[in-house]
Chains A and B, each alone.
Chain A
Amino acid sequence: MKRHLLILIACSVLTLLGAPFLGESLILGADPAGLDGLVFWEVRVPRVLLAFLCGAALALGGLVFQAMFRNSLATPYTLGVASGSTFSVALWINCGLSFSVLGISGISLAALVGALLSVTLVYNLARISGGLATVSLLLGGVILSFFFSSLTMLVQYFADAGSMFKMMRWTMGSLGQADMDAVLQVLPFVVSGVLLIVQYRRELDLLSIGDELAMSRGVEVKRVRRILFFAVSLMVAGVVSVCGPIGFVGIMVPHFCRLLFGVVHRELVWMTFLLGGIFLVWCDTLARSVTIGSDLPVGIITSLIGGPFFLIVLLRRARV
C-alpha cells in the first residue's frame, strides 16, 4: 500500500513538472522574459495546477459519494450536485452581480448554495422514495440533474449574447479561464473539503457496509453523513464556480482506484485524490494539444472517455 502511494506521489510530481512543457507547442528552456516564458508561467503552469486540483477534488468527491451511497454509480455529477451548482452559477452570471464575502467570491458562494441545495434534495428524495442503496437514488439524481440542466438552459435562453457565450463555454466544463487567481479561488475549497474528508476515512469504510451496521459499530451516521455532504459540496462548488461541470472524473477514477488498490479507505482516499489530479491534467493536456489556436473544453474529453466507461460499469453490474 505504502509503495503504491509513493508511486502515485512520484507520478503526481512528474505530471505537475512535465505537463506545462507540453501543449500546442513544446516549450523547452524558454527565456522567462520572452513570449514562450510568459505562456509557460502565466498560462500553462496555473492551468496544470488548476486541472490537478479540480481532478483530485472531483475524484475524491466521487469516492466519498460511492462509499456513502453504496453505489458505484453515485458521483456529484450523476446525483445532480454538479448541475445544481451549475444552475445557481448560471443564474449568478446572468444577474450580473459581483461581491465577495471574506475574500470568497460571490460566484463560489452561489455554487456552494446550489450544491448544498441539490445534495439535500436528492438525499431526501431517495430516502422518501425507498432507500439509499437502491435505484431510487440514481433515479432521483438523474431527474434532478435534468431539471437543473433545463433551468440552466432557460437562464441561458433569456440571457444576453455576451453572458450567454460565457455561460455556454463554461457549462461545457473548461479550464480555459485558468490563471493564478482561479487557482487561489479553488484552493481553499478543495483544501478544506479534503481536510474534512480525511478525518472520516474510517467512517467511509463503515458507511459502505450499511447504515444500520455502521451505527451499531458506533458511528454517528447522521452527523458524519452531513459533514461529508458538506465537504463534497464545498469541493464541487469550488470546482464548478471556476471550471463549470467536468463530468466523469468522479466515476472513473474512484472505480479504477478500487480495482487497483483495494477497498480500504484509509489509503484509498489519498490514491484517488492523486490519480484524479493526474488524470485531469493529462486530459486537459490532450484538450489543449489537439486543436490549433483554441482549446477543446476538457469536459468534452473526459465525457468522451467517460461515457463508454460508464456503460461498461453499468453492463458489468447488470451481469453480476
Chain B
Amino acid sequence: MSENPILLECRDVCVGIRGKSLLTNVNLALRQGEHKVIIGPNGAGKTTLLRAILGSLTIRGGSILLGGRELSSLRQAEIAKLISYVPQLLAAEIPYNVREFVAMGRYAYGGGPRDAAVESALTAVGVACFADRVVSTLSGGERQRVCIAAALAQQAPILILDEPLVHLDPSQRMEVQRVLRELPREVTVMVVTHDLDWAKMNFQSLLSLRDGVVDYDGATVDFYSGSGVSRLFGEAVGLKYKEESI
C-alpha cells in the first residue's frame, strides 16, 4: 500500500474564518486504494477539512495537492473528475427521480442519463430496481445508497463521504456499510464518522483531529491499542476500546 502513488495531499493546511482558526497545519496523504477514516469530537474541524479538500472554501495557508496539482489551480469540473463526494444524509427536498439524480454525476463529462456509467453505478449499489422513483420518497438508507451511486457515476478515483451512517436505523446502516465494503477495489475512500466501532473494523488507516490539529495519523490498529481514543473522547470511552483491542 505504501508504494502506491499519493492521490491527495494536504501540506500544512490552515483554515480560519473571521480571525478564528479552524484548522492549523494539517498534513495528510491519501494513497491510491487506501481506505482512510477521519474521526474527532464535534467541532474538531472534520467537516472543514472536507470542505477545504472539495474546494468549497479557501485555505488561508499551506497547499492541497490533487494528483500532484495545486487544488486552487483546478477548475471545478477537473476536481469533480478526481473527487466525488457523498454529503451527510440528504434532508432537502429532491424532486428528481433516482436516474436523473445519479445522472447529475456525469455533469463534469457533459454526459447524461444514457451514459453507461449511470447504469453501472445504479447496479453497483443495488438501486437499479427503483431508478424511476423520486429521491425524496425514499427511505434514509435508500437515499444514502442513491447518493453513493451518484458519486460512483462521477468515476473519480477518490470517494469522500461525510458521516454516511448518521440518522440511519440499524438495518439501514448495515445496508450502507455493505455497499461501501463492496466498492470496487481501486476506489480510494476517505470517510468522516463518529462511529468508532465501524472505523475500527473497516479502515486500515486513521486520522484524528482535535481542535483543528491532527492528533493521530497512522494505522487504525495502533490508534485503538494506544491512548488515541481516550485523548479524543476521554478515559471512559478510551478504556472500553482498549479492553476490546487486548
- Interface on A for B, CB 8 Å cutoff? 70, 133, 202, 205-206, 209-213, 215-221, 258, 263-264
Among candidates B80, B94, B96, B150, residue contacting A218 with C-beta atoms closer than 8 Å: B80
* Given A210-B87, A216-B84, A264-B100: 19 more A-B contacts, CB < 8 Å: A70-B92, A70-B93, A205-B96, A205-B104, A209-B96, A209-B101, A215-B56, A216-B56, A216-B80, A216-B85, A216-B87, A217-B80, A217-B107, A217-B154, A218-B76, A218-B80, A218-B81, A219-B76, A219-B107
Interface membership of B55, Cβ < 8 A: yes
Cα A102 to Cα B80 with chains together (Å)? 42
Q: CB within 8 A of A217: which of B55, B93, B104?
A: B104
- Listed in ascending order, the chain B residues whose CB lies under 8 Å from chain A are 51, 54-56, 75-81, 83-85, 87, 92-96, 100-101, 104-105, 107-108, 150, 154
Q: Which of chain B's residues have a CB closer than 8 A to the CB of A211?
A: 56
Q: Is the CB of B56 within 8 A of A217?
A: no
In the assembled complex, how far is the CB of residue B165 from the closest CB belonging to chain A, in whole angstroms? 19
Interface residue from B54, B78, B81, B105 paired with A215 (Cβ < 8 Å): B54
B154 partner residues in chain A, CB cutoff 8 A:
217
Contact of B105 among A212, A217, A221, A263 (CB under 8 A): A217
A residues near B76, Cβ cutoff 8 Å: 215, 218-221
Q: What residues of chain A lie closer than 8 Å to B95, measured between beta carbons?
A: 258, 263
Sample (12) of A-B pairs whose CB atoms are under 8 Å apart: A70-B92, A133-B92, A202-B107, A205-B104, A206-B104, A212-B51, A212-B54, A216-B87, A217-B80, A217-B104, A217-B105, A263-B96
In the assembled complex, which residues on chain A have CB atoms less than 8 Å from the CB atom of B107? 202, 206, 217-219
A218 close to B87 (CB less than 8 A): no
Q: Which residue of A lies closest to B83 (CB)?
A: A216
Most chain B beta-carbon neighbours within 10 Å: one of A133, A218, A263:
A218
Among candidates A205, A210, A221, A264, residue contacting B92 with C-beta atoms closer than 8 Å: A210
Nearest B-chain residue to A203, judged by Cβ: B107
Question: What residues of A have a CB within 8 angstroms of the CB of B51 in the complex?
Answer: 212
> CA of A46 to CA of B238 in the docked complex: distance in angstroms?
79
Report the bound CA distance from A133 to B150 in whole Å: 22
Instruction: Please give, as numbers and ranges, the residues of chain B lying within 8 Å of A202 by CB-CB distance.
Output: 107
Asked whether B94 lies within 8 Å of A209 as measured between CB atoms, the reply is yes
Interface pair B55/A215, CB less than 8 Å apart: yes
User: Which residues of A are found within 8 Å of B84, using beta-carbon distances?
Assistant: 216
Report chain A residues within 8 Å CB of B150: 217
Nearest CB in chain B: distance from A280 CB, A: 26
Give chain A nearest CB distance to B202 CB in angstroms: 23
Q: Kindly name the residue among A206, A211, A221, A264 whose own CB sees the greatest number of chain B CB atoms within 10 A.
A: A264
Contact yes or no, A218 B77, CB < 8 A:
yes
B92 and A209 contacting across the interface, CB-CB below 8 Å: yes
Chain A, residue nearest B162 (CB): A212
Alpha-carbon distance A205/B84, docked complex (angstroms)? 18
Bound complex: CA A166 to CA B159 (Å): 61
Q: A206 to chain B: which residues have CB within 8 Å?
A: 104, 107
For residue A153, give the distance in angstroms from its CB to the closest CB of chain B. Answer: 37
Q: Given the interface contacts A209-B104, A217-B104, A218-B107, does A264 sit within 8 Å of B96 by beta carbon?
A: yes
The residue from B75, B81, B93, B104 contacting A220, defined by CB atoms under 8 A apart: B75
**Are the CB atoms of A212 and B87 closer together than 8 Å?**
yes
**Neighbouring B residues of A220 by C-beta, 8 Å:** 75-77
The complex places the Cα of A215 from the Cα of B54 at a distance, in Å, of 8
| Closest A-B pairs by Cβ, 9 of them | A218-B80, A218-B108, A218-B77, A216-B85, A263-B95, A217-B107, A220-B76, A218-B107, A218-B76
